[in-house]
């Protein structure tokens, strides 16, 4: 503060007075200073107030601005809300788009999955095809191998067939020759015999006067021999016919055939009494014609070789053996020595003297051949004067 | 009525003699013409060699035909007989040595009326000839010389 010098304090009052004056002056000085200070403070306050006003103005402005701003912000807020809404809409849209996208993606993924599966399947199929091709290759190789084998087999077969053909041709040629031979035998060998017999007979009839008894006996021998030879020729032809003829197998009743054969034998020698034992039925599978020849020979032999028995017995039967049926014809006649059994079935082999029992020795050879042609076997057992038994089968042994 | 002839086709003169003897012994007095092979038999039957003057045009009552013959064999003769209108009804008896199945089959197949095997034993042979003569010359009615119309309904 600052004071003015009106009380005199400053210019020298008297010491008491002067002291006062000085004191007043001091006080006045002090008050001036105080006033300066106050003015400074006032000024500062005013300044402050000024500043405050400014500040207030500024504040107002600021408030205004803020309000503006707030207003703006409100609008902005509205806009923002709109924008937000729009954004939300967009976001909504985006969300549904996303869902769609996801769905599409999923679909695509599914498609891709499917495609992957498809690819896997394709791969598998491809692999399978490759395997098949591999297999096919193998198979082809196998087929080629088999083909090669087949070709070889065909070649072998053709070779075999050719061999068979040659054998057949040879057989045919042999058969042809046999036929020609038999034909010649049948036609040509008999004619001279007929002459021998016929002209011997003519001699006996027409020239009986020029022949003595001995001559007639001799001519009788000539005729007998001619007839015997004719019989041999017939037997040989019969034997060859058995070989030449075809075999026609069918079910046959051996018992029935045997009965007709025995009935014929009985008619030829009605006085003979023979006990015959034959079952009612005895079936076989064979050629009826040829089997009849077998039975004619075997039963004929039994009939013949029991001639010296008063009441002979002839039995025709069968017995089962492992896998086959064995037929047998048994008699209690002259029998034979087993030492010669090997000759029994050979052509022109006889075990009895001609004046004892007639025969050409061909019958059992024919029987043997027929049985063999049926795939069967024949064998015999005998004892001199105690009878004979002939066994035979008609099928291949199984 | 003139007795009709027998045609014997036989190449073996001994068989011929035996056959003639058997016929004679059995009282068969019919004329017997002998052809010694198949060709001669055909000449006789078809009168293809008129110079030989052995056929008056009448056919024999029966032909006794051997099978195994020179030149033309018996079966061929038989075929020719059956193949001609003139001779197709002529009775033909095959008289042969063979009784082979193939011969019998062929004989009947080609139309033989009968098949007889010549027995070796003369008495049997003579008996066979006797029966043949009896049957074919006496018992059997020969076919008509010419074919007439067949009765209706056949």
Which residue on chain A is closest to B11 by alpha carbon?
A: A191
**Any residues with CB less than 8 A from the CB of B75 and at least 6 apart, and which?**
B67, B106, B107, B110
pLDDT number for residue B115: 93
**Per-window interface: B 82-141 vs A, CB < 8 A:** 96-103, 118-123, 125
Instruction: Please choose, from the candidates B113, B107, B125, B104, the residue with its C-alpha nearest in 3D space to the C-alpha of residue B25.
Output: B125
Using a CB–CB cutoff of 8 Å, tell me whether B51 touches chain A. Answer: no
Q: How far is CA B17 from CA A198, A247, B9, in A?
A: 10, 41, 12
Best residue in B26, B122, B128, B129 for a mutation probing chain A (most A CBs within 10 Å): B122
Q: In this predicted structure, what is the pLDDT of residue B154?
A: 45
Q: What element of type H or E holds A276?
A: strand A275-277
From chain B, the residues in CB contact with A193 under 8 A are: 120
Residue B136, Cβ neighbours under 10 Å: how many?
23
pLDDT at B66 over 90: yes
Pairs of CB atoms within 8 A across A/B: 67
What gap in Å lies between CA A68 and CA A28, rounded to an integer? 56
Q: Are B87 and A156 in contact (CB under 8 A)?
A: no
Q: Chain B residues with CB inside 8 Å of A201's CB?
A: 122-123
A186, A194, A237 ranked by CB distance to B125: nearest: A194
> Checking phi first, is residue A325 left (phi over 0); if not, alpha (psi -120 to 50) or beta?
beta
> What is the reported pLDDT for A99?
75
CA of A256 vs chain B CAs: smallest distance (Å): 25
Could you give phi then psi for residue A105, rounded to 5 degrees? -60, -45
Token pair of A317 as six digits: 């039967």
Q: How many Å apart are CA A145 and CA A139, to the nearest integer?
A: 9
pLDDT on residue B148:
60
pLDDT digits (tens, 9 = 90+) for B26-51: 888 888 999 999 999 999 998 776 66
By CB neighbour count within 10 A (0-12 exposed, 13-18 middle, 19+ buried), where does A256 fall? Answer: middle
Query: What is the model's pLDDT at position A9?
Result: 47
Instruction: Indicate if the pLDDT at residue B1 is higher than 50.
Output: no
pLDDT at B53: 60
The one-digit pLDDT tens for each residue of chain A (398 residues) are 454 444 444 554 455 666 766 777 777 777 777 777 777 777 776 776 677 677 667 767 767 776 776 677 677 677 777 777 776 777 677 677 777 777 777 776 776 677 677 777 777 777 777 777 777 788 788 888 888 888 888 888 888 888 888 888 888 888 778 777 877 777 788 889 999 999 999 999 888 889 899 999 999 999 999 988 888 888 888 888 887 778 899 999 999 999 999 999 999 999 999 999 999 889 999 999 999 999 999 999 999 999 999 999 999 999 988 888 999 999 999 888 888 888 888 877 777 777 777 777 788 989 999 999 999 999 999 999 999 999 999 986 55
What sign has the CA pseudo-torsion B92, B95, B101, B103?
negative
Q: CA-CA distance, A316 to A304, in Å (whole number)?
A: 15
| Distance of alpha carbon A267 from alpha carbon A140, whole angstroms | 77
- How does the average pLDDT of chain B come out, rounded? 85
**Cross-chain Cβ contact A194/B15 below 8 Å:** yes
* % of chain B at pLDDT higher than 70: 86
Task: Identify from A186, A200, A203, A245 which residue to disrupt to test chain B contact, counting B C-beta atoms within 10 A and taking the largest count.
Answer: A186
Q: Is the dihedral of CA A46, A50, A55, A56 positive or negative?
A: positive
> What global pTM score does this model have?
0.57
- Partners of residue A195 in chain B, C-beta under 8 Å: 12, 14-15, 18
What's the confidence (pLDDT) of residue A217?
92
For residue B145, is pLDDT > 70? no
Within 10 angstroms of residue A120's Cβ, the number of other Cβ atoms is: 10
B122:A241 CB<8 A:
no
CA A240/CA A387 separation, integer angstroms: 30
Interface of A with B (CB under 8 A): 179, 182-183, 186-188, 190-191, 193-195, 197-202, 223, 226-227, 230, 237, 241, 245
Would you call B101 and A241 a contact, using CB atoms and an 8 Å cutoff? yes
Give the integer Cα–Cα distance in Å for A67 and A55.
Answer: 17
- ipTM topping 0.95: no
């Amino acid at each position: 503060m600052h004071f003015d010098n009106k009380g005199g304090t400053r210019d020298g009052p008297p010491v008491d007075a002067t002291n006062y004056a000085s004191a007043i002056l001091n006080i006045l000085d002090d008050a001036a200073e105080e006033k300066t200070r106050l003015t400074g403070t006032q000024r500062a306050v005013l300044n402050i107030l000024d500043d405050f006003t400014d500040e207030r103005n500024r504040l107002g402005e600021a408030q205004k601005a803020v309000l503006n701003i707030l207003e703006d912000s409100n609008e902005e807020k509205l806009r923002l809300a709109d924008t937000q809404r729009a954004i939300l809409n967009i976001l909504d849209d985006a969300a549904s788009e996303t869902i769609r996208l996801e769905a599409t993606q999923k679909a695509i993924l599914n498609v891709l999955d499917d495609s992957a599966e498809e690819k896997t399947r394709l791969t598998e199929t491809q692999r399978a095809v490759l395997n098949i091709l591999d297999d096919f290759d193998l198979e082809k190789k196998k087929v080629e191998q088999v083909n090669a084998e087949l070709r070889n087999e065909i070649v072998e077969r053709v070779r075999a067939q050719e061999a068979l053909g040659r054998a057949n041709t040879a057989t045919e040629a042999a058969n042809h020759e046999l036929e020609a031979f038999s034909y010649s035998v049948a036609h040509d060998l008999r004619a001279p015999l007929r002459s021998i017999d016929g002209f011997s007979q003519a001699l006996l009839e027409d020239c009986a006067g020029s022949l003595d008894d001995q001559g007639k006996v001799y001519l009788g021998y000539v005729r007998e021999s001619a007839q015997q030879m004719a019989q041999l020729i017939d037997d040989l032809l019969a034997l060859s016919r058995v070989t030449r003829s075809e075999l026609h197998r069918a079910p046959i009743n051996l018992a029935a055939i045997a009965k007709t054969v025995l009935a014929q034998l009985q008619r030829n020698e009605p006085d003979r009494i023979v006990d015959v034992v034959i079952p009612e039925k005895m079936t076989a599978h064979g050629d009826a014609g040829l089997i009849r020849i077998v039975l004619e020979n075997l039963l004929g032999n039994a009939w013949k070789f029991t001639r010296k028995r008063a009441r002979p017995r002839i039995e025709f039967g069968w017995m089962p053996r492992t896998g086959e049926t064995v037929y047998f014809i048994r008699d209690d006649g002259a029998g034979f020595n087993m030492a010669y059994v090997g000759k029994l079935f050979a052509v022109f082999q006889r075990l009895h003297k001609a004046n004892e029992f007639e025969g050409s020795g061909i019958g059992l050879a024919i029987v043997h051949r027929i049985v063999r042609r049926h795939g069967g076997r024949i064998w015999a057992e005998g004892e001199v004067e105690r009878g004979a038994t002939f066994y035979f089968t008609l099928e291949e042994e199984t | 009525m003139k007795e009709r002839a027998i045609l014997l086709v036989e190449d073996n003169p001994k068989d011929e003699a035996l056959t003639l003897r058997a016929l004679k012994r059995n009282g068969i007095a019919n004329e017997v013409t002998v052809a010694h092979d198949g060709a001669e038999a055909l000449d006789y039957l078809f009168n293809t060699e008129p110079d030989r003057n052995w056929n008056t045009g009448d056919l024999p009552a029966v032909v006794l035909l051997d099978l195994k013959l020179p030149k033309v064999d018996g079966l061929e003769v038989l075929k020719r007989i059956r193949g001609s209108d003139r001779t197709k009804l002529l009775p033909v008896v095959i008289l042969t040595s063979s009784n082979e199945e193939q011969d019998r089959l062929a004989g009947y197949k080609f139309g033989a009326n009968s098949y007889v095997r010549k027995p070796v034993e003369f008495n049997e042979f003579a008996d066979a000839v006797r029966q043949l003569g009896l049957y074919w010359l006496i018992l059997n009615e020969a076919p008509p010389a010419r074919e007439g119309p067949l009765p209706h309904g056949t």
